[in-house]
Chains A and B, each alone.
Chain A
Amino acid sequence: MEVGQMQRQWVDYTKSLFLEGFLDSQFLQLQQLQDENNPDFVVEVVSLFFEDSERLLNDLTNSLDQQGIDYKKADAYVHQLKGSSSSIGAQRVKNCCIAFRNFCEQQNIDGCIRCLEQVKQEYCLVKNKLETLFGLERQIVAAGGSIPTMELSF
């Protein structure tokens, strides 16, 4: 596939991620921060997010898997996940966290477990999507092209 085609594919794919709500404008902010001096900024930050989130999700799963659930602790984890997901623009994950926090507040175990599943699911989805996107980017760069700038004016 030639570079131009790959670039168009990248653009379409990115657009779809926004359309489907996986990403929001915060992700654009990240892309804006990337420049020639930091060509891998977005990938780095997102990788950091993946690591951190996986740890959080594990901790969260453990915390809900107990006899006496510490909802405050669970809430703290969810809050953190909400913060980091919103920072990179992972909108659907963030939205799940919001619902999750409500259940934690209500100490609703069923609601929490459901949300946990949902959050994990959304996380996996967005992770796949982003990894696909980064794959495309690598291909473009390898083929000598440059990644188009995604510019949105709001």
Chain B
Amino acid sequence: MNPSGKGSMSTISTSSARKAGELVPDFPAGLRVLVVDDDPTCLMILEKMLCTCLYEVTKCNRAETALSLLREKKNGFDIVISDVHMPDMDGFKLLEHIGLEMDLPVIMMSADDGKNVVMKGVTHGACDYLIKPVRIEALKNIWQHVVRKRKNEWKDLEQSGSAEEGDRQQKQSADEADYSSSANEGSWKNSKKRRDEDEDAEERDDTSALKKPRVVWSVDLHQQFVAAVNQLGIDKAVPKKILELMNVPGLTRENVASHLQKYRLYLRRLSGVSQHQGSLNNSFISTQDATFGSISSLNGIDLQTLAAASQHPAQSLATLQAAGLGRSTAKAGVPMSIVDQRNLFSFENPRLRFGEGQQQHMNSNKTMNLLHGIPTTMEPKQLVNLHQSTQSLGSLNMRVSATTPQSSPLIMQMAQSQPRGQMLSESIASHVPRLPTAMAQPNVANSVLGRDGIADVSRGSVYNQIPQTSPMLSFPGNQTTEVPINSFPLGSTPGISNITPKSNFQDEVTSGMKGSGGFAPSYDIFNELHQQKSNDWELQNVGLAYDASQHVNPLQGNIDVSPSVLVHQGFPSTQQAGQNREANSIGKAMYSLGEGMDQTNLQNIGQNLNTLLVDNSVRVKTERVPDASSQSNLFPEHYGQEDLLSAFLKQQEGMGPAESEFDFDGYSLDNIPV
């Protein structure tokens, strides 16, 4: 099995040293997968399928066993696939542990496709969620999650490109033995560099003048850091001394300082957080541990904190996001900062330091551009609301500002990441109230707020009132204890809008992201909000369109960002039962198509369509057939396609809808640009 997309990878992969014993010149063959499921039937089938994909499979039927295996063989696995319902430990618990301790991508799977369960997967940091029965096509592409994670870890290195960075990179590459997922890190660098440059271009607009080389805190580097801190004692650990102890050439005191801040946050989180926040932390931390990057400071403000934090929260964000796909995909530059900010705020990070001057960025054209047209769609009433909310935010911000009066960089970050952030919305919600006062810029803020305001951070009560720099949806998943999903007034939030107005969105975007038009924007949760917030939706739609066009075109070649972004759009649709699942699969597939379909995408579609096919969608079948024959060489026609197809049709019709929840109308398939 050789996914077409991996052509470039195989050449790259051979160029760098691999972890001992883990060399796989023909990646993704040899990917080390750990599969955990208490159902022996499923376990056996999965193992066989994974072997057929040429992966190195280890199976176990208990979560405890899996954990000890993972702990024993540090860096012995590339990815974990786990069932949700297990007798000895909840799959999500296992997910958290793995995220925290080993920082491996984890795919959840279950026969349960209920929205809540899938959401849980997202919020706990799963990088994907497969519905049983799992088809081999779905497994063929799991390597993407490994790649994506690595890519995000190296992203900062690529952006800086300085000699210093180069040295650091080499040093880190040389230390691959300790890297849990380093087998392909070096190899991905080059390929990522190319792709990242596109993504970074936007992000650099405002930071180019002040760009500083980023430090990627690899697992190894972080371990050295932790050892130094422990040696000094957490209270006495000052950056200067830590730096001396670590003795890493090229590392600056500043890098250490920002990393220390994050680390302290992490520790604080560990000690006193709720379950939900804990899960957030896990994702956050895991990514942090992997890559503490630093963003070049803006106007003298230490944005490293932000950047680094954003790197990780991006993961959390990603997980929080409905997409549930590439967790690490959220790490793509811009969105991460938003996520980061969100996370930082959520944890009452007093360390954020933003220069007041950053506010200028808020007013930058970039922000305005993003929202061009949006303000005009906003009714005066909403503007007023925004103003009001701005004030309320202002007061909230006071809290944060008191400790660390730096908001503008945050805003700037958010503003920058808006286009992407929008996709990633979700966890920001709870943190909106804490946005710095800088947010209260009437002009720009309005437009910005307009988008974000919709995101109801304050638990569904403030609708469109909380200005947010980023259109990130305040997805309650992040802090479910605080924001029950049903109270989302996020219906109008950009993120959520992904779900609801998706159909509109689809119509607007003609860049190839069609197909989801069939999604009925009738999510119960959002219905009432929808009526109230028609304006917001317009905003969101525009934003979405903006984002989509932003993303689809430049990111043709950027598999990792696009899918995550686009999938995020698609994923929320799975929030609803049944139909959404299918729709989501299709949406995902379609988005993949929009991005610039490669074989793997087609396979995804194929699989999704197959699922649909089996679930009684006649239209699906007709659509599906050409796909299947074009892409799958596993099914040479022996029996007679027509023959069996008709057999199935008859069967379907005779049986009637297999599941009442699959009220799929097949529309979206009609638009699939096969």
Contacts and interface: CB of A to CB of B under 8 A. Distances in A.
A87 B635 contact: no
Contact of A80 (B85, B624, B644): B85
Contacts of A49: 41
Given A83-B83, A151-B635, 12 more contacts: A15-B644, A29-B49, A29-B136, A38-B48, A48-B41, A51-B40, A52-B40, A87-B42, A152-B639, A153-B628, A153-B635, A154-B624
A86 B52 contact: no
A141 B651 CA distance: 30
* List of 8 A-B pairs having minimum Cβ-Cβ separation, nearest first: A83-B111, A151-B638, A84-B41, A86-B133, A153-B635, A49-B41, A26-B133, A87-B133
Interface in B28-82: 38-42, 44-45, 48-49, 52
Interface stretch (B213-221, B294-302, B338-346, B653-661): B653-661
Contact of A149 (B48, B85, B624, B638): B638
Given A153-B628, A153-B632, A154-B610, A29 B135 contact: yes
A74 B625 CA distance: 39
B89 interface: no
A87 B41 contact: yes
A49 B42 CA distance: 9
Contacts of B613: 25, 154
A21 interface: yes
A18 B647 contact: yes
A153 B629 contact: yes
A14 B634 CA distance: 19
A92 to B, nearest CB: 8
A148 B638 CA distance: 9
Interface in A1-45: 11, 15, 18-21, 24-26, 29-30, 32-33, 38, 41, 44-45
Contacts of A60: none
Contacts of B112: 79
Interface string B230-257: 0000000000000000000000000000
Interface size class of B (residues with CB under 8 A): 35 or more
Interface of B: 38-42, 44-45, 48-49, 52, 83, 85, 110-112, 132-136, 609-610, 613-614, 621, 624-625, 628-629, 632, 634-639, 641, 644-645, 647-648, 650-651, 654-655, 658-659
A152 B637 CA distance: 6
A18 B614 contact: no
A124 interface: no
Which secondary structure dominates where chain A touches chain B? helix
A87 B133 CA distance: 5
B658 A95 contact: yes
Contacts of B624: 154
A125 interface: no
Contacts of B110: 83
Contacts of A25: 610, 613-614, 648
A33 B52 contact: yes
A150 interface: yes
B354 to A, nearest CB: 48
Contacts of A91: 658
A120 B136 CA distance: 29
Contacts of B40: 48, 51-52
Interface in A89-147: 89, 91, 94-95, 98
A153 B641 contact: yes
Contact of A18 (B52, B111, B651): B651
Contacts of A45: 41, 44-45, 48
Contacts of B38: 80
A69 interface: no
A26 B132 CA distance: 10
A26 B658 CA distance: 15
A20 B658 contact: no
13 contacts: A41-B48, A52-B41, A79-B112, A82-B111, A83-B133, A87-B45, A98-B658, A152-B639, A152-B644, A153-B635, A153-B641, A153-B644, A154-B621
B647 A21 contact: no
B118 to A, nearest CB: 15
B628 A154 contact: yes
Contacts of B636: 151
Contacts of A149: 638
A90 B133 CA distance: 11
B463 to A, nearest CB: 32
B48 A33 contact: yes
Contacts of A21: 651, 654-655
A93 B491 CA distance: 38
A80 B614 CA distance: 20
A33 B45 contact: yes
Contacts of B651: 18-21
A71 to B, nearest CB: 15
B45 A150 contact: no
A134 B124 CA distance: 43
B669 to A, nearest CB: 13
Which of A41, A48, A51 is most buried by chain B, counting CB atoms within 10 A of its CB? A48
B136 A33 contact: yes
B133 A48 contact: no
Nearest to A150: B639
Contacts of A82: 111
A91 B615 CA distance: 10
Contacts of A52: 39-41
A88 B41 contact: yes
Contacts of A20: 651
Nearest to A91: B658
A41 B136 CA distance: 15
A84 B30 CA distance: 27
Contacts of B625: 153-154
